[in-house]
């Protein structure tokens, strides 16, 4: 009954574009997850360690895929609260 994927694609040629599009989408989704896991600083796997991991995010490094005219300036009130908490 089940002769395999390649046999099915050989006998039913109309499934080849559908199979290729789904394979490309799945490959893109997995590769973006892996990219985000290793390159983005706001993605965290290990919850052990710092209770506030967002403190380690570099504000000068853009976190978005595309950043247009973004300038970061520290908020004075937030900086004073951080100093008081430590």
User: What residues does each domain of the chain span?
Assistant: 5-85
Dihedral sign computed on CA atoms, order 45, 50, 52, 53: negative
Helices within the chain (DSSP H only): 5-11, 16-39, 76-85
CB neighbour burial string for 8-30, b if at least 16 within 10 angstroms, e if fewer: eeeeeeeeeeeeeeeeeeeeeee
pLDDT in tens, the chain (86 residues): 467 888 888 888 898 899 999 999 999 999 999 998 888 777 777 766 666 667 777 777 767 767 677 677 778 888 888 888 76
pTM score: 0.50
Q: How far apart are CA 65 and CA 58, in angstroms?
A: 15
Euclidean distance between CA atoms 10 and 18, whole angstroms: 14
């Amino acid at each position: 009954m089940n002769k395999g994927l390649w046999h099915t694609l050989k006998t039913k040629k109309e499934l080849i574009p559908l199979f290729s599009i789904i394979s490309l989408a799945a490959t893109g989704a997995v590769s973006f997850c892996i990219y985000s896991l290793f390159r983005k600083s706001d993605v965290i796997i290990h919850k052990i360690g710092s209770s506030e991991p967002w403190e380690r995010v570099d504000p000068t490094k853009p976190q978005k895929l595309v950043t247009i005219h973004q300038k970061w300036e520290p908020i004075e009130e937030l900086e004073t609260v951080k100093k008081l908490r430590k």
